[in-house]
Amino acid sequence: MRRLRNLKIVATLGPASDDYEMIRTLFEAGADVFRLNMSHGTHDEIAARHKIIRRIEQDTGRPIAILVDLQGPKLRCGVFASGAVDLEDGARFRFDLSDVPGDARRVQLPHREIFEALEPGATLLVNDGKLRLRVLDCGPDFADCEIVVGGTISNRKGVNVPDVVLPVAALSEKDRADLAFALDLGVDWIALSFVQRPEDVIQAREIVGDRAAILSKIEKPAALKAFDEILDVSDGIMVARGDLGVEMPVQSVPPIQKHLVRKCRQSAKPVIVATQMLESMIESPIPTRAEVSDVATAIYEGADAVMLSAESAAGQYPEEAVATMDNVAIEVESDPTYRAIIESTRKADRSTVADGIVAAAREIAETTDIKAICCFTESGTTALKTSRERPRVPILALTPSTETGRRLCLSWGINCYFNEKVDRFKMAVVSAARAAREGGYGEGEDQIIVIAGLPFNIPGSTNILRVAPCEERLIYNVEPE
């Protein structure tokens, strides 16, 4: 099951991918991480999918990461007496707290916190940005607006407020219940929606602790302003381009994507590029050329992973969608231009011994005939730093921690292997050589690089590097009988 590319693929599960056969098919087609979306599906359905993934993991002997995506607060308008009304450009419209059914002049917006944050001149977007209104006057229970871009508004359509930081917690009551459920299941990653500030992540961390890694979804302008602080307290980032494209001019999303990916690479934290990557494959077995180019762009930028949403969850061709991403990644990564771009954008703070060790490993691998870099890692830090270097050879992460092995499945180029704890470096080298042989990375006198920390099993202690052969008898320097 060795992948022929470094990029990781995240596939969302849903009605189209709900049984053992299909989920295993997606894994074999190239899915490295499975996303369980708490916006859709009951706890029983989510638990059943989780159980299937763990069964596939056991059957294949390969770690698989499970990411649970929390819904986040949903801001929606109320209902209309006629079910829907048409709003004309230039007309006036009011949002208020009254639960009386709306009409062409007003409707309920049952979120007092929005009114508390609004100021004249602020923008309100309705129905994924299809309608745009500008606030003329507002108070603690109303907002009088001018319709800038009109259209049809109907019951309970979503409302976005891009201009202000809303006094809304990233975790709703539903999210808290879903989070407790997901942690009890034993998932590997929690994707946190509606992140506006680092405090939102810190609040979630107080609940999650070390039971899962936290992935902050960047989907609001406020998160971009505080991105460095959010990145510092997060374990990973998702560039949620769909919501960003609603709340910001669509032409600003590509440069934002590029900027965020580079920031994450420099911090050695995984980044997923998500939303509408192969959307036409919901109904077609073949993607558009523009979609293929979009996926390729994320790969050229050095993203750790790309994500399928409805394509694999509810589409007619989930296997084909995963296989398409797999093929695009293989093709891009074989392009000399890809390697040139990756190496020209490599920028890392090498202020520690561990930073120097992994940089040296990458440089040795690029100047000699090295088959793989093998990292012994307890917390995953050594493997993540190695991944940040984007080496030309495969990365093997050997860890005694099941949780660490699964979480690393999201990171660029890392192939995870579970290994018993070792207390001597020579045994670590032997274990690394065995993993390299069993994985098909090398054999006999083929050389690998082994990096680890002494003393063993202490996170963050990477301080040793050795070049070693793949054959155990050569490691021990004895002739065969």
- Among residues 24, 54, 76, 130, the one annotated as catalytic is 76
Alpha carbon 153 to chain centroid, angstroms: 32
Burial of 191 (0-12, 13-18, 19+ CB in 10 A): buried
156, 113 Cβ separation under 8 angstroms: no
Q: For residue 401, what are the CA distances in angstroms to 386, 405, 436?
A: 18, 6, 19
Alpha carbon 88 to chain centroid, angstroms: 39
Q: Give the span between the Cα atoms of 432 and 439, in whole angstroms.
A: 10
Is 35 among the catalytic positions? Answer: yes
Give me the helices (H) in 368-443, please: 381-388, 402-407, 425-438
3-state secondary structure of 113: helix
Amino acid at 240: A
Record the tokens describing residue 297, joined without a space: 């762009």
- Among residues 5, 8, 35, 157, the one annotated as catalytic is 35
Is 390 among the catalytic positions? Answer: no
323, 30 Cβ separation under 8 angstroms: yes
Q: Give the span between the Cα atoms of 237 and 127, in whole angstroms.
A: 26
3-state secondary structure of 69: strand
State the DSSP H helix or E strand holding residue 227, giving kind and residue range, or none if neither: helix 227-233
Give me the helices (H) in 368-478, please: 381-388, 402-407, 425-438, 472-475
3-state secondary structure of 210: coil
Q: Give the span between the Cα atoms of 66 and 225, in whole angstroms.
A: 29
3-state secondary structure of 378: coil
3-state secondary structure of 338: helix
The candidate with the shortest Cα–Cα distance to 330, out of 6, 9, 34, is 6
- Among residues 106, 217, 241, 269, the one annotated as catalytic is 217
Is 275 among the catalytic positions? Answer: yes
- Among residues 8, 123, 269, 275, the one annotated as catalytic is 275
In angstroms, how far is the first alpha carbon of the chain from the final one? Answer: 33
**Which amino acids are annotated catalytic?**
35, 76, 217, 275
